[in-house]
Amino acid sequence: MAEPMTPEAAWEAVQLARHQDRPQSLDYVAHALPDFLELSGDRLHGDDKAVVGGFATLGTHHIVLIGHQKGHTLKERQERSFGMSRPEGYRKAMRLARLGEKFGLPVVTLVDTPGAYPGKDAEEGGQAGAIARSIETFAGLMVPTVTVIIGEGGSGGALALALADRVLMLENSIYSVISPEGCAALVWRDAAEASRAAAALRVGARGLFELGLVDKVIPEPPGGAHTDHRAMAERVMAEVRLAVEELLRLDARDRLRLRHERYLKMGSYTVVDSR
Amino acid sequence: MPRSSCAGGMAKYVTIQVTRREPPPGAQPPGEHCKKCNAPLAEGELERSLRVCPHCGYHYPLPAHERVAQLADKGTVSFVAEEVQPVDPLAFVDLRAYPDRLAEAKFETGLSEAFLAALCEISGMPAALGVLDFRFLGGSMGSVVGERFHRLAKAAVEQRRPLVVVAGSGGARMQEGLFSLMQMAKTVVAAQMLVEARLPYVTILTHPTTGGVFASFATIADIIIAEPGAVMSFAGPRIIEQTTREKLPPGFGSSESQLAHGQVDMVVDRRDLKDRLVRCLSFLRGRADG
């Protein structure tokens, strides 16, 4: 079994994953998807700016791209709720994914969120159901799906966009069932123990790769992804393109079956003879 | 300070705050007086009324085996997926080691995990019945909960039975890290098997149903029934107030509020639950003569 990172190393990944200048979905668009055409709205209630999406061209393929967008400046971060989606964000994602499904376009998601938006209106508007339906929608797509955890993969709010045929993760990204601070506050009863919690939860990319929970770790430039947006964007989209092309070679039914099998196998348990 | 508040937004065991107002789950029912209305209770009265106070209607937590006994016909129950047992995939140690927490939960509840799976009949209809027990580590969804759910769903499809699942959960099983999060995906994909087979899937949400359980298999059923006074939320009330500084109204996230906001189909008193469930299942079977 993989050895956990030290708390110091785990915390460094957490800090890099949350770095204010870390490339976000629209930075990947700006540097590697020049013909991106943004679409808006969930056709039910509103347009959640914590989630962006639209069409793009990747090599010879048109794709649907959906991603969290935290924002870089304080103003943008407030407009985008720091990348924390409300139900309308997940419903927008579902709508765009179904559009990809209808026209045979592979669906690529970029995940970067502290989690779903924790607010009264979001809850009353069906936050939980929207996340569940989003998971269900992505599970059922007949087109190839690829997700990249580009920053923070914050629990259910991340998973809502992260169920895919291929799950890639940037070297200094994190993906976790609970924030290290939240975990520390609960079990150590001290949020200051967040670095220990980060290590115990194995939030880092390499550890999750070794546990078989992600397919590939994408290296970052020395110092982290924020030091070179262009290089990072080109590298990520090259990896996504490889994954999409590999998936397009599979029969659609096989691809769907393999995706279902992948998720039905998820878990770590033992089977004992109960007789 | 957005960062720390966002981080707090992820907490899964927020229900600790919710449940503190209630009697602790699994605590012995009060011997003499209802903890809610303080009315005197005769010995065994609460047990005979499905742990609902006959005076004020307060719903006490119902242990998983009692829930099975409530919904399943006597003598028809066979438990399945008991062979699936927990491990400690991350060697998770906080103040205590995860295996110690598991051992204690087993000892205290008499259950081997938080999800009890059974094949049974409900008013003569064959069914697959799963029950999450909040007493077992907060009904949190680890790998065993996910795999037992999967095996139960599979059995339902193979034997053409409807699936009924009673939820009650604080959310994710933190000690299993990302394996726990992946159970949200796993249970949703497993429930899809019922959709493909055109078999009924009904969930019953009890106090509390939160976090990853609320945002996965609990909310994608054909029909969602809630027990009165149960609290349901994805993020917990304290996290919401901390992050958004919103003052939450009384009854936030309650079954009654969820009904008003269109998130559940009906709120049903536990004493009427079996009858109502049977009515739902018989409509979902599709034929009036079967």
Closest CA–CA distance from residue B171 to any residue of chain A (Å) = 10
CB-side neighbour CA atoms (13 Å) of B289? 0
pLDDT of residue B238: 84
What's the CA gap between B13 and B101, in Å, rounded? 15
Q: Do A185 and B11 touch (CB under 8 A)?
A: yes
What's the CA gap between B206 and B61, in Å, rounded? 8
CA dihedral B280, B283, B284, B290 (to 10 degrees): 120
Q: Do B144 and A177 touch (CB under 8 A)?
A: no
Could you say which of B2, B239, B263 has the minimum Cβ distance to residue A126? B263
pLDDT tens for chain A, 275 residues: list them: 556 789 999 999 999 999 999 999 999 999 999 999 999 999 999 999 999 999 999 999 999 999 999 999 999 999 999 999 999 999 999 999 999 999 999 999 999 999 999 999 999 999 999 999 999 999 999 999 999 999 999 999 999 999 999 999 999 999 999 999 999 988 888 878 999 999 999 999 999 999 999 999 999 999 999 999 999 999 999 999 999 999 999 999 999 999 999 999 999 999 998 65
Could you say which of A115, A123, A182 has the minimum Cβ distance to residue B233? A123
What's the CA gap between A202 and A186, in Å, rounded? 17
Q: Do B4 and A84 touch (CB under 8 A)?
A: no
Closest CA to B275 of B46, B63, B84, B50: B50
**Total Cβ atoms within 10 A of residue B186:** 29
What's the CA gap between A193 and A198, in Å, rounded? 9
Could you say which of B87, B218, B243 has the minimum Cβ distance to residue A270? B87
Q: What is the DSSP letter of B175?
A: G
What's the CA gap between B263 and B226, in Å, rounded? 10
Under CATH, to which class is B3-26+61-284 assigned?
alpha beta
What's the CA gap between B188 and B193, in Å, rounded? 9
ipTM: 0.97
Q: Do A117 and B3 touch (CB under 8 A)?
A: no
**Total Cβ atoms within 10 A of residue A12:** 17
Q: What is the DSSP letter of B97?
A: B
CB-side neighbour CA atoms (13 Å) of B131? 24
Tell me the pLDDT tens digit for each residue of B8-61.
334 444 444 444 445 555 555 555 799 999 999 999 999 999 999 999 999 999
**How buried is residue B253: exposed, middle or buried, by Cβ count under 10 Å (0-12/13-18/19+)?**
buried
Domains parsed from chain A with CATH numbers: 7-264 (3.90.226.10)
| The model's pTM | 0.93
